[in-house]
Each structure stands twice: as structure tokens, then as C-alpha cells.
Chains A and B, each alone.
Chain A
Amino acid sequence: MIKAAVIWEDIRAILTVVPFTLGTAFFILCAAILLGLLIAVIRLNNVPVAKQLAHVFIHYTRGIPLIIHLYLAYYALPPLLQSALGLLGVSGTVTVSPFAVLVVAYSLYAAVGQSENLRGAFVSVEPGQWDASYAVGFTGWQAMRRIILPQALVVAVPVFFNSYLTIIKGLSLAFTIGVTDILAQAKLCSAANYSYLEAYISAALVYWGLCGALGFVFRKIEKVLTKW
């Protein structure tokens, strides 16, 4: 039957990689928001060529599972980089660490969701707010920073929080390309003590606790934000 002592031991082993998971997820989220902003700006301003590329990329991420996207990146990015460097005249073999592949690939994948989020957030601010800002003599940048952005962020931030949790969960697939996160650590534990179910229960409890606690904190912050 299930051994509680093993679960406790596994949880302690898994907790050692939690900071890594949280940090990686945060980094990916930030990169995704920046890339998402770029995509949103491209789409809102109808930049030719870039707009079509963004469209293709949005369709790509919507239709392809994260795990396959990670595998594609894992096998395609190093040779692509190699040929790109070859064109620049740099020779020699390129080695890309799985962690770098994970961060780059996942940031790109998550950027599409963020671009939709940001686009929605900016569109949700009434156009009249721009007019009002200009009427009191603000420049475009001032209006953006002092009037539009604060209102757009109230809409966008809850989605950022939600995406953070989604990325933490998505990192469970990182083991497929050899990065050790929560699930991979659980698998390592189970390989050491042959208690598979216990390892997965431990991983599930860690995820549950993590997302539960973060969700609680995020809801508190959202309450403060809605006051504005």
C-alpha cells in the first residue's frame, strides 16, 4: 500500500527544485509578456509582413501541443543556429543547453496568449481616455504612461497571474527535453526507491500546494488592484 514516509521523503526532495521552477516560470512569463507586447503592437498597427508572420505564428501555437513544440525546438534550434552562424562565417559545432531551448521555446509559445491578453487590455480602455489626456495637454507617451497603462494593467494583471500558474504546470513537460523541474525530480525519486505512485502523489501535492498558495496571494493582490 501507499507509504506515507516515502511521500514525505519525496516531497522534501521535490521542494528543492521548487525555487528553480518558480524562477524559470517567472523568467518565461516576463519574456512572454515582452514578446506578446511586440506581437500586439504589430497587430494593432498593421505592420505589413510582420503582421502576417505573427498571424502564422499564432495559428501555429494554437494548434500544436506544447510537448511537440518543445521537441521541435529541441531538435531544430541547434541546427538552425548552426546554419545561421555558418552564414555569418562562424564555424564550429554549436551546443545549446536544454534549459536554453526550454526558455526560448516556451517564451515564444506563451507570447501568443500574452499578446491576446495585452491587446484586449488596451482595447478595453475607452478611446475617450486618450482624447481627455490630449485635452489636458499630455503628450502621447505621457497619456500612455499615466492614463492608459494603469487602466490596461488592471485588466491584464489577473491574466499574467493565471499565465504564471499555467507556465508552472506546463514546465512539467520539461523532463521530455532533460530539464529537471518538479515532475522530473519526482521521476528521479521514483527511480531511486521504486515507489512510482508515491512519487506522483508527492508531485501532485507539491503542485497543488504551490498553485493553491500562489492563487490565494494573487487573489489578494487582484482585490487591491480593483480598488483603482
Chain B
Amino acid sequence: MTIDFGYCLKILLRIGPTIPYTLFIIAVSGVLGILLAMGVAAIRIKKWKIIYPLTNLYMSFFCSTPAIIHIFLIYYGLPLLLRQVGINADGWSKTLYALLALILFNGAYMSEFLRPAYLSVDRGQHDAADSIGMSGFAKFRRIILPQLLPVAWPNIENATVELVKDTSVLFVIGLVDIMGKAKLIISNDYGVKKLEVYIVTAAVYWLITFLVSRGFQLAGRKLGITRHE
């Protein structure tokens, strides 16, 4: 078996331009996903009536079905659903569906560890903050969050790495991100040197996950979230 490294370099130049787009998808769905997860976790902690059982249903669905199914369901199902309420979704970009699928999945996935992280903060900390007259928001920002983050940080890092990996299935709805471009290259070149294309794709994903992981570790240390090991 031989690998054509010159060809690999050419492939890299063709895949390269799709990297920013992929990073954009990762960033938007990561940030909005964690915001949704915080909302879901808050509902589950407060055990609000009516919505609480709904979050149970939502989490069980998104945690027990594969990411590829979410993308298919949202891409094919949402326009149909919207048409029922009189919204025409014909011209909507595929990016929107992809983002929605990733956000919904991460909202469920991340809330699964945000809730235990919140509950890991000792009850006495709440009482102490209340006793000195802190408002709800001040209590959360100054007392709870600094104790919650060190617990949740490694999980947030892992979830983001998983998110990067999950973007590799978006090509199934025809999105031209890193994997989508790789697929296009293969079909344009009539399937020659597939192995080279996948090696380059693998290397690009590996680099992104490596940088994301390092970024989290560095940020954790610089912001004083994680104690140095």
C-alpha cells in the first residue's frame, strides 16, 4: 500500500477553505447549545410544573437517538411542521437546520452534567449568600458559578470535542463543511485515492479537536477555573 503525500497536500488546499465555515458551526452551536442546556438544567433543578416532564421527554429522546437521526428529522420534518402553521421554509439554508439539530442535541447532552455540577455546590453556600442579603443573580454569579465551573469544566471541554466530531455527519443533508467537501472531492474525482482524502480529513479534524481541547485547558488555567495539576 502506498500513500501519495503530494496528492494529500493538494486535497488539504481544497478542504482548507471550508474550515472557517465548520468552525462557525461549531462556535454557534456550542454557545447556543450550552445556553439551552443551562435553561434545561434550571428547569430540572427548580422542577417547574408542566415543563419539567417535557424536559424529561426531550432529554430522553435526544440522548437515546443518534446525531445523524436528529439532522435527518429536523431537515425533513421541520419544514413540514412549519407549513402546518403557515410558515414557508422553502428557501431556508441548510446551515440553519444543521445548527438547530446540533443545538438541540447539545442542550440535552450538556444539561445532563450541568445539573449535577450545580447540585454539587453545598446547600450551605446558598444559605450563606442569602443570609448576607445577596440577590438571586449576584448569588449565582459570585457564589455558585465559581464553584460550579471547576466541576463542569472538563465535561464542557469533552462535550465540545464531541461536538466537533458530530459535525462530521452534517454532510448527509448536503452541507459543504470539511466532511462535505471531502465527499464532494471524492465524487468529483470519480473515487480515486479515497484513502488520501480521508487521511487529510482525519488530520484536519484531529487538529481542530486538539486546539479546542488545548484552548479549554488554557482558558481554564488562565481564568483560574481549574487548579493547575
Contacts and interface: CB of A to CB of B under 8 A. Distances in A.
Majority secondary structure of chain B interface residues (helix, strand, loop or mixed):
helix
Given A63-B210, A72-B195, A200 B64 contact: no
A200 B61 contact: no
B201 interface: yes
Given A64-B205, A66-B165, A76-B1, A200 B195 contact: no
B94 interface: no
Interface stretch (A26-34, A37-45, A133-141, A202-210): A202-210
A169 B66 contact: yes
Contacts of A1: 80
Contact of A71 (B69, B80, B198, B210): B198
B195 A75 contact: yes
Contact of B169 (A63, A67, A69, A211): A67
Interface in B193-207: 194-195, 198-199, 201-202, 205-207
A60 B65 contact: no
B60 interface: yes
B77 A212 contact: no
Given A2-B80, A80-B1, A68 B66 contact: no
Interface string B114-133: 00000000000000000000
Contacts of B210: 59, 63
B202 A64 contact: yes
Interface string A1-31: 1100000000000000000000000000000
Contact of A197 (B63, B68, B76, B169): B76
B77 A68 contact: no
B65 A208 contact: yes
Interface residues of A, number: 38
B47 to A, nearest CB: 20
B1 A173 contact: no
A163 to B, nearest CB: 14
A68 B198 contact: yes
Contacts of A170: 66
Interface string A186-228: 0000000000110011011001101110010000000000000
B179 interface: yes
B195 A201 contact: no
A160 B35 CA distance: 30
B64 A212 contact: yes
B195 A207 contact: no
B77 A208 contact: no
Contacts of B166: 65
Nearest to B65: A207
B18 interface: no
A79 interface: yes
Contacts of B73: 197, 200-201, 204
B29 interface: no
Contacts of B153: none
Contacts of A75: 194-195, 198
Contacts of A67: 168-169, 179
B165 A208 contact: no
B69 A65 contact: no
A72 B68 CA distance: 19
B209 interface: yes
A169 to B, nearest CB: 4
A22 to B, nearest CB: 14
Interface in B38-93: 60-61, 63-66, 68-69, 72-73, 76-77, 80
Nearest to B194: A75
Interface of B: 1, 60-61, 63-66, 68-69, 72-73, 76-77, 80, 161, 165-166, 168-169, 179, 194-195, 198-199, 201-202, 205-207, 209-210, 213
Given A172-B66, A208-B61, 16 more contacts: A59-B206, A59-B210, A62-B161, A62-B213, A63-B206, A64-B165, A65-B168, A80-B1, A169-B64, A172-B68, A183-B68, A196-B76, A197-B77, A200-B72, A203-B69, A211-B64
6 contacts: A68-B168, A71-B194, A173-B169, A200-B76, A204-B69, A208-B60
